Amino acid sequence: MAASEVILEVNNLRKEFDGVVAVENLSFQLHRGEILGLLGVNGAGKTTAMNMILGLTEPTSGSIHAFGLPMPKSRIAILRRCNFCSAYAPLPSNLLVWQNLLIFSLIYGVKNRRQRTAALLELLEITPLRQRVTGHLSSGESTRVNLCKALLNSPELLMLDEPTASLDPDIADKVRKTLRRVQREDGVGMLYTSHNMRDIEEVCDRVIFIHHGQVVAEGTPQDVVRQSDHASLEEMFIDLARAGGKA
C-alpha cells in the first residue's frame, strides 16, 4: 500500500446555483488510506462538494480527478472503485436487508457475493438482520446496513455523509471503530462529513473547514485547533458559525 498515493484531487472547484455560490475555489487532495474530514456549518458547501465528486452535480468550473481519472468524463470507471454512505440516503425501505444487499452486489459486480456479504454482516455485527425489512430497522441498524452496502465492492474511496447522524453513542462508537478498521486493514481512503466534532477528532487524519464554500482552515484536527487558538474543534466550529467564517 503506497501511503502517499493521491486517489482524489480537487482543484479550484466552484459551483454556482442561479447566482448563489455554493462552493468557491475548493482544492484538496486525499491520499490512499487517509480519512479526510470535510467540516462546516449547514449550507457551507460540504454536501455540494461531495455531490460533485460523486458525479451527481456538475461543477461550474474547476476539476476533479479520482485515481487519476477525470470526473465526470470517467464517471463509471471512478464509481466502480468508490462507494457512498449517507444518513440521508437509506436503502429501499420496502425490501429485506438481504435483498437490498444482493441488488447492490449485482449492480457493483461483486464477485463471491454470498461470502462477501456474509463477511461484512459479521464485521458490522448485523448478521441477524438479514431477513428483516429494511424500513423496520432502527437508525443504528439502518446505518450499519447502509455501511455494509457501501463496503460491498471493496471500495478504494469511500464517501461518508454524516454516517453517525442520529446514532446513540454506543452505535456511533462501533461505526467509528469499524471505519478505522477498514481504513487500517484495506487502505480505504475516506471523505467524511459530520457535525459531530468527536467523530472528526477520533476518525479523521486531516480536516478541511469550509465556510460559504471556501476553505478557512486545513490540517490535522490537532493542528487546526492549535492554529486557530481554540480549545477544541467544537469551540472552533461554533465560533466559525457565529463569526461568519473568521476563526
| Residues found near other proteins in the complex (CB under 8 A) | 17, 48, 51, 54-58, 72, 75-77, 79-80, 82-84, 86, 88-96, 99, 102-109, 149, 159
Tell me how far, at minimum, the Cβ of 189 lies from other proteins, in Å. Answer: 16
DSSP state at residue 90: P
Helix-strand-coil split of the chain, %, nearest 5: 40, 25, 35
Tell me how far, at minimum, the Cβ of 18 lies from other proteins, in Å. Answer: 8
Closer by beta carbon to other proteins, 58 or else 168: 58
Tell me how far, at minimum, the Cβ of 103 lies from other proteins, in Å. Answer: 5
Tell me how far, at minimum, the Cβ of 21 lies from other proteins, in Å. Answer: 13
Other Cβ atoms closer than 10 A to 12: 12
Tell me how far, at minimum, the Cβ of 245 lies from other proteins, in Å. Answer: 23
Q: Which of 96, 90, 104, 222 is nearest to 163 (CA)?
A: 90
Closer by beta carbon to other proteins, 29 or else 99: 99
Tell me how far, at minimum, the Cβ of 94 lies from other proteins, in Å. Answer: 6
Three cell numbers, residue 133: 425489512
Name the region of 175 (left: φ>0; alpha: ψ -120 to 50; beta: rest).
alpha
What distance in Å separates the CA atoms of residue 5 and residue 30, rounded to the nearest whole number? 8
What distance in Å separates the CA atoms of residue 56 and residue 72, rounded to the nearest whole number? 9
For residues 85 and 69, the answer to whether their CB atoms sit within 8 Å is no
Output the CA torsion sign for 5, 85, 186, 39. Answer: positive
Closer by beta carbon to other proteins, 54 or else 224: 54
